[in-house]
């Protein structure tokens, strides 16, 4: 088994580096043994030098998201002298932007996470998604950037919350053949309607897993393939009737589905 040791060093929270590392390690399925240590809010050369020395001792890769030039210089100099392996995710791009624009960077750690208008818009969107989740109040459809439709276990709520984290106001509605659609749905412009669908066999597996996790028997209609096929057919009929854009979620991460939906928005 191959092991990967990584040190995340940041003068902020280190979240950016964590996301990039996760994406990179996903390309190495055989590297299942990883030791990732995060060192956030590093603001002086002495602390940074000690962390780098520990990384060298442990033969770790240092992943840095530092914006302070003195700290970046310390990292670069230490690595040049010792042969420490490191990746600097911030400095090259900052330098390129500076050279192209002529603007001087603020070198302000955590600038991305400041409580600005974008932050409050995101919080508002998350609150909106919670309030109008699962068809709780159809009156929210009129205020939504997207209304997500689909039968049970097509990832309506996770997708709504992910889009909310990107400041979109999203409501969602479960489609059940025996339950009439709310009249408010027919007033939503078709380009804002997103229909989620998946292969019935996949939905069956997810529903059975859900029932097992709750300690319930999977012999109910909820986990019956014929019933699921009926639900899928009903949902796709509704999508066609309303003119909803259809997104297949089979083996697709929430992030991928969200990217497709954002692409649809860009076209209207």
The annotation places the binding site at: 150-157
Select from 238, 231, 260, 158 the least CA-distant residue to 190.
238
The answer for residues whose C-beta is within 8 angstroms of residue 59's C-beta and 6 or more apart is 5
Select from 191, 198, 190, 129 the least CA-distant residue to 159.
129
Q: CA torsion, points 212, 216, 217, 219, in degrees to nearest 10?
A: -90
Sign of the four-CA dihedral 9, 63, 118, 132: negative
136/162 Cα distance (integer angstroms) = 19
- Written as six digits, the tokens of 114 are 């400041």
Cβ atoms within 10 Å, residue 235: 24
196/247 Cα distance (integer angstroms) = 5
The answer for residues whose C-beta is within 8 angstroms of residue 18's C-beta and 6 or more apart is 8, 36, 38
34/157 Cα distance (integer angstroms) = 31
| Binding-site residues from annotation for ADP | 150-157
HSE-up of residue 157 (Cα within 13 Å, Cβ side): 11
Beta strands 146-150; 3-10: pairing state: unpaired
- Written as six digits, the tokens of 26 are 């996903």
């Amino acid at each position: 088994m191959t092991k990967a040791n990584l040190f995340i060093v940041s003068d902020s929270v280190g979240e950016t580096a964590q996301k990039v590392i996760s994406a990179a390690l996903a390309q190495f399925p055989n590297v299942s043994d990883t030791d990732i240590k995060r060192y956030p809010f590093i603001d002086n050369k002495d602390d940074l030098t000690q962390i780098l020395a520990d990384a060298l001792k442990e033969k770790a890769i240092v992943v840095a998201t530092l914006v302070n030039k003195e700290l970046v210089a310390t990292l670069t100099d230490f690595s040049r002298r010792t042969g420490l392996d490191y990746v600097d995710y911030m400095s090259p791009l900052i330098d390129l932007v500076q050279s192209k624009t002529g603007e001087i960077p603020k070198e302000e750690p955590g600038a991305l996470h400041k409580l600005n208008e974008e932050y409050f818009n995101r919080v508002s969107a998350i609150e909106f998604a919670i309030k109008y989740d699962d068809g709780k109040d159809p009156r929210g459809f009129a205020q939504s950037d997207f209304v997500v439709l689909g039968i049970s276990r097509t990832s309506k709520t996770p997708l709504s919350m992910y889009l909310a984290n990107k400041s979109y106001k999203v409501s969602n509605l479960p489609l059940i053949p025996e339950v009439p659609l709310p009249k408010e749905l027919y007033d939503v412009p078709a380009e804002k309607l997103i229909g989620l669908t998946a292969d019935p066999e996949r939905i069956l597996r997810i529903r059975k897993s859900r029932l097992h996790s709750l300690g319930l028997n999977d012999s109910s209609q909820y986990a019956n393939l014929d019933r699921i096929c009926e639900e899928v057919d009903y949902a796709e009929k509704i999508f066609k009737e309303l003119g909803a854009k259809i997104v297949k979620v089979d083996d697709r991460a929430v992030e991928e589905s969200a990217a497709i939906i954002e692409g649809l928005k860009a076209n209207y």
